[in-house]
């Protein structure tokens, strides 16, 4: 077998008696194929979720209702969030893990390849469930998609139409898929590391993902429980969230955010794991503070499950609870500051060059810094009373999840794309994409901070006249931001199709097992595990 693959190697990637064409992708158990499918799915859903929010921003360009009615507006904002979180960001991170963790730790594949295949193929049905109510409504069936925002708050979600049921089932399926992915990653990292690779020699990307995987296992079942309780409240006469039957609507918020807050770190930890690799590569200097970063990941993971109530300070919690959740939330700034410190210290006195991945990494650090600092003041209960439910919060979490999450993913894509495809992408287009993204991102979301401070609530389809200017600017920014992403898709597509040949060690300063293999790596890699000294 060993000789067969080395002989056939890349030239005949599925020369091992497997299917070709569509059946190859349906039945594949290869971590690289599955990684590619995750990433492709994620890119498609990124555009689906993006199109939804461009429609929303178009409506918000000027006061008055121009393009849509409030019911439809409410559906778009909620499904935009669910699509971006569950169908764009999470699958992108899982795609990275599938592709890179075996290469980085010297494993021949993921530990549970069939589970891996199933985990991916659960995603398309879930995405269809999530968006189908939009299309059913066109045929007069039901009243459209989930219109409660992505948070499903009861009792609004108890009152909602069948879009809520579709979304609940979609969340169940997405949750099962993520749990499978997490189990696979944990088992792979614990059991399949190359001989000599101790846990404290594990690449930081794998460490970040390991913490993410544990957080998913800890919190997704709680979300599944919460939405199941919602389902039984809707259809089977229970009263978990109905005061008239002895329930409590705030119980739902506790359950939801027990998942929802760690979810933020679930999305960000893989990116934080990736950053030191990129910064070290382009600074041509070893990672600063490896051990400190590992402990920071663990600390953030632990803290993330004990701070959830800061998402609903205005719901009227008792004073001791307010003080506890405020201080525990502020405590997260310490491990996060460790990460920032290590990132900048990695760059310090390096020999830097600024290829596209490095540009995105630096952009990520600065903009994610804004998210972190505004997060610190949002933790303050008294000030939060003004920020909460306003556009200030919208701006804050887009700095965290677009600049932090999505730009982090773009960093990874540009960094590893030559490794995956064997071709260099266009550096010129990549840089153009970076500058357009960064400038239009700030044009979109910086005004939203001011809108929030001036008193504009989030999730409203129409607004008072004093909010008009900032909204118009934000919409212009969003349109540029949205359409610049076509450059990203085009750059990836052309890189897959061809381009200058990439070497095994694509970047001058790249260190690690993944760069020992050819670009693209053979279909089956590390059949003989390397030994780490």
Partner 1 sequence: MMRTLPHSRTFGSSCAAARRRSLRCLIPAGTALLPAIAEAEMRFNFPEPVTPIARETLHIHNEFMLIITLLFVVVFAIMIYSMIKHRKSVGHAAVKFTGPTGALQWFWALIPFAILLFIDFVLMGIPAVQAIISMEDTKTRADMVLKVTGMQWKWQYEYPEAGIKFISTMSTPRAQIANAEAKGEHYLLEVDKPVVLPVGKKVRILLTSTDVIHTWWVPQFGVKRDAIPGFLRETWVLIEKPGIYRGQCAELCGKDHGFMPVVVHAVPEPEYLAWLEQQKAEAVAAAGSADRAWSRDELVAEGRTVYDKVCVACHQAEGQGLPPVFPALAGSKIVNGPLLDMNGRIIPDSHVDRVFNGKAGTAMQAFRDTLSDVELAAVITYERNSFGNKLGDMIQPAQIKALRQEAK
Among positions 40-59, residues that touch partner 1 (CB under 8 A) are 58
- Residue 302 to residue 444: CA distance in whole angstroms: 33
Interaction of residue 147 with partner 1, rule CB under 8 A: yes
- Selected from 142, 499, 512, 522, the binder of partner 1 by CB under 8 A is 142
Of the candidate spans 97-105, 128-136, 143-151, 394-402, the one that interacts with partner 1 by CB under 8 A turns out to be 143-151
Query: How far apart, in Å, are the Cα atoms of 313 and each of 265, 319, 322?
Result: 20, 10, 7
The answer to whether 431 and 356 are in contact (CB under 8 A) is: yes
- Of 4 and 377, the one with the shorter C-beta distance to partner 1 is 377
Q: Which of residues 151-170 bind partner 1 (CB under 8 A)?
A: 153, 155-156, 158-159, 161
Interaction of residue 464 with partner 1, rule CB under 8 A: yes
- Selected from 386, 493, 498, 531, the binder of partner 1 by CB under 8 A is 386
- Selected from 288, 368, 402, 425, the binder of partner 1 by CB under 8 A is 288
Interaction of residue 511 with partner 1, rule CB under 8 A: no
The answer to whether 460 and 394 are in contact (CB under 8 A) is: no
- Residue 149 to residue 531: CA distance in whole angstroms: 50
Which run of H or E residues covers position 447? helix 427-454
Structure tokens at 301: 């993971």
Of the candidate spans 31-39, 87-95, 359-367, 524-532, the one that interacts with partner 1 by CB under 8 A turns out to be 359-367
Task: Please give, one letter per residue, the 3-state secondary structure of 365-421.
Answer: HHHHHHHHHHHHHHCCHHHHHHHCCEHHHHHHHHHHHHHHHHHHHHHHHHHHHHHHH
Interaction of residue 390 with partner 1, rule CB under 8 A: yes
Dihedral of alpha carbons 492, 493, 496, 497, sign: negative
Interaction of residue 469 with partner 1, rule CB under 8 A: yes
Q: Which of residues 190-219 bind partner 1 (CB under 8 A)?
A: none
Structure tokens at 65: 């209702």
Of the candidate spans 64-72, 80-88, 164-172, 512-520, the one that interacts with partner 1 by CB under 8 A turns out to be 64-72
Q: Which of residues 317-346 bind partner 1 (CB under 8 A)?
A: 319, 322-323, 326-327, 330-331, 333-334, 337-338, 340-341, 344
In the complex, least distance from residue 400 CB atom to partner 1, rounded to whole angstroms: 15
Q: How many residues bind partner 1 (CB under 8 A)?
A: 104
- Selected from 312, 416, 425, 507, the binder of partner 1 by CB under 8 A is 312
- Residue 342 to residue 291: CA distance in whole angstroms: 10
Question: How many residues does this entry show for the chain?
Answer: 533
Interaction of residue 531 with partner 1, rule CB under 8 A: no
Helical H segments across 28-89, by residue range: 31-59, 70-82
Q: Which of residues 241-260 bind partner 1 (CB under 8 A)?
A: 242-244, 248-250
């Amino acid at each position: 077998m060993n000789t067969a693959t080395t002989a056939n190697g890349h030239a005949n990637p599925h020369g091992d008696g497997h299917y070709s064409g569509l059946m190859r992708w349906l039945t594949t158990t290869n971590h690289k194929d599955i990684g590619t499918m995750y990433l492709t799915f994620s890119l498609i859903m990124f555009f689906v979720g993006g199109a939804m929010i461009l429609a929303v921003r178009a409506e918000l360009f000027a006061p008055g209702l121009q393009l849509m009615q409030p019911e439809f507006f409410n559906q778009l904002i909620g499904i935009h969030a669910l699509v971006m979180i569950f169908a764009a960001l999470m699958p992108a991170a899982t795609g990275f893990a599938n592709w890179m963790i075996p290469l980085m730790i010297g494993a021949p594949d993921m530990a549970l390849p069939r589970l891996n295949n199933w985990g991916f193929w659960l995603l398309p049905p879930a995405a269809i469930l999530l968006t189908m109510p939009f299309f059913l409504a066109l045929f007069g069936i039901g009243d459209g998609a989930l219109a409660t925002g992505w948070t499903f708050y009861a009792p609004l979600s108890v009152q909602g139409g069948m879009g809520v049921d579709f979304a609940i089932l979609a969340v169940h399926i997405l949750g099962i898929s993520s749990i499978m992915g997490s189990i696979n990653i944990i088992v792979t990292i614990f059991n399949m590391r190359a001989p000599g690779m101790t846990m404290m020699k594990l690449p930081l990307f794998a460490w970040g993902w390991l913490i993410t995987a544990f957080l998913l296992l800890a919190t997704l079942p709680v979300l599944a429980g919460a939405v199941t309780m919602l389902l039984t409240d809707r259809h089977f006469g229970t009263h978990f969230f109905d005061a008239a039957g002895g329930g409590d609507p705030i119980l739902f918020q506790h359950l939801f955010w027990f998942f929802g807050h760690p979810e933020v770190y679930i999305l960000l930890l893989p990116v934080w794991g990736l950053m030191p690799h990129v910064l070290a590569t382009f600074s041509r200097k070893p990672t600063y503070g490896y051990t400190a970063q590992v402990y920071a990941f663990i600390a953030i993971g632990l803290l993330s499950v004990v701070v959830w109530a800061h998402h609903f300070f205005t719901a009227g919690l008792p004073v001791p609870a307010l003080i506890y959740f405020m201080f525990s939330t502020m405590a997260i700034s310490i491990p996060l500051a460790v990460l920032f410190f290590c990132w900048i210290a990695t760059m310090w006195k390096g020999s830097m060059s600024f290829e596209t991945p490095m540009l995105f990494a630096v952009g990520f650090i600065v903009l994610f810094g804004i998210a972190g600092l505004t997060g610190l003041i949002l933790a303050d209960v008294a000030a939060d009373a003004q920020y909460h439910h306003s556009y200030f919060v919208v701006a804050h979490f887009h700095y965290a999840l677009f600049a932090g999450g999505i730009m982090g993913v773009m960093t990874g894509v540009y960094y590893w794309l030559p490794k995956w495809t064997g071709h260099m992408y266009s550096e010129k287009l990549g840089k153009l994409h970076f500058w357009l993204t960064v400038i239009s991102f700030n044009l979109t979301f910086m005004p939203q901070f001011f809108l929030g401070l001036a008193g504009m609530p989030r999730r409203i389809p129409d607004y008072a006249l004093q909010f008009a200017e900032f909204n118009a600017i934000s919409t212009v920014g969003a349109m540029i931001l949205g359409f610049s992403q076509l450059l990203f898709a085009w750059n990836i597509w052309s890189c897959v199709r061809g381009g200058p040949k990439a070497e095994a060690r694509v970047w001058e300063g790249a260190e690690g097992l993944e760069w020992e293999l050819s670009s693209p790596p053979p279909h089956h890699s590390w059949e003989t595990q390397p030994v780490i000294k």
